């Protein structure tokens, strides 16, 4: 189903050793695994025919390499605000390990010591949304799971914490857009 209004295509980066093991990967520059690289190459055919005005990427190596391997590297513009959540003291730690020391912890509700809260990530997402709306054109974005989940929540007017209700697999493709007019932002497709 196509739309007369600009669509924003979101791509989560390919698999890394840390995404595979469930370790929180915020600002650490972990490379794609061989499987992650192969999946990123398969994005090219999945995105074939997509017409976009701009291609934006997180500064992380995993997002940039996914963009390159999908065939969009020559058009890539790095946007620092697309960086993954800063997990602070929880960088490289699994949720299971965190819960052993902090029972009941939830990332989107509690944030991370010495890192970002959901509201902090939401502020960065709002700046990206403002840039998207200013461009008023189709854009392809490569980034990481938790940031993209917050971006989707803020796109449809939910608080940043609402990103907890969206899940993204590695090398998934999602689409943000509009329904009847530019005042009705919607999620057109998710986690495909």
Active-site amino acid positions: 13, 84
| Residues 118 and 150: beta-carbon distance below 8 Å | yes
**Strand ranges across the sheet with 173-178:** 76-78, 54-57, 139-143, 8-12, 173-178, 185-189
Enclosing H/E stretch for 142 = strand 139-143
The first and second tokens of residue 23, run together, are 């370790």
User: Which position has the token pair 């995993």?
Assistant: 62
How many residues in total does the chain contain?
192
| Residues 115 and 85: beta-carbon distance below 8 Å | yes
The first and second tokens of residue 6, run together, are 């600009």
Instruction: Compute φ and ψ for 188, nearest 5 degrees.
Output: -85, -35
Query: What's the alpha-carbon Rg for the chain, to the nearest Å?
Result: 16
DSSP 32: B
């Amino acid at each position: 189903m196509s739309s007369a209004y600009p669509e924003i295509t979101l791509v989560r980066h390919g698999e890394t050793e840390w995404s595979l093991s469930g370790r929180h990967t915020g600002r650490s520059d972990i490379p794609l695994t061989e499987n992650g690289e192969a999946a990123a190459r398969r994005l090219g055919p999945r995105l074939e025919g997509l017409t976009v005005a701009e291609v934006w990427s997180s500064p992380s190596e995993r997002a940039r390499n996914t963009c390159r391997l999908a065939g969009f590297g020559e058009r890539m513009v790095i946007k620092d605000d697309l960086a993954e959540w800063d997990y602070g003291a929880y960088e490289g730690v699994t949720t299971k390990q965190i819960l052993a020391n902090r029972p009941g912890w939830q990332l989107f509700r509690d944030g991370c010591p010495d890192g970002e809260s959901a509201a902090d990530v939401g502020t960065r997402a709002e700046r990206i949304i403002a840039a998207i709306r200013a461009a008023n054109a189709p854009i392809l974005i490569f980034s990481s799971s938790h940031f993209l989940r917050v971006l989707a929540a803020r796109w449809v007017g939910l608080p940043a914490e609402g990103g907890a209700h969206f899940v993204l697999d590695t090398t998934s493709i999602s689409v943000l857009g509009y329904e009847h007019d530019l005042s009705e932002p919607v999620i057109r497709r998710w986690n495909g």
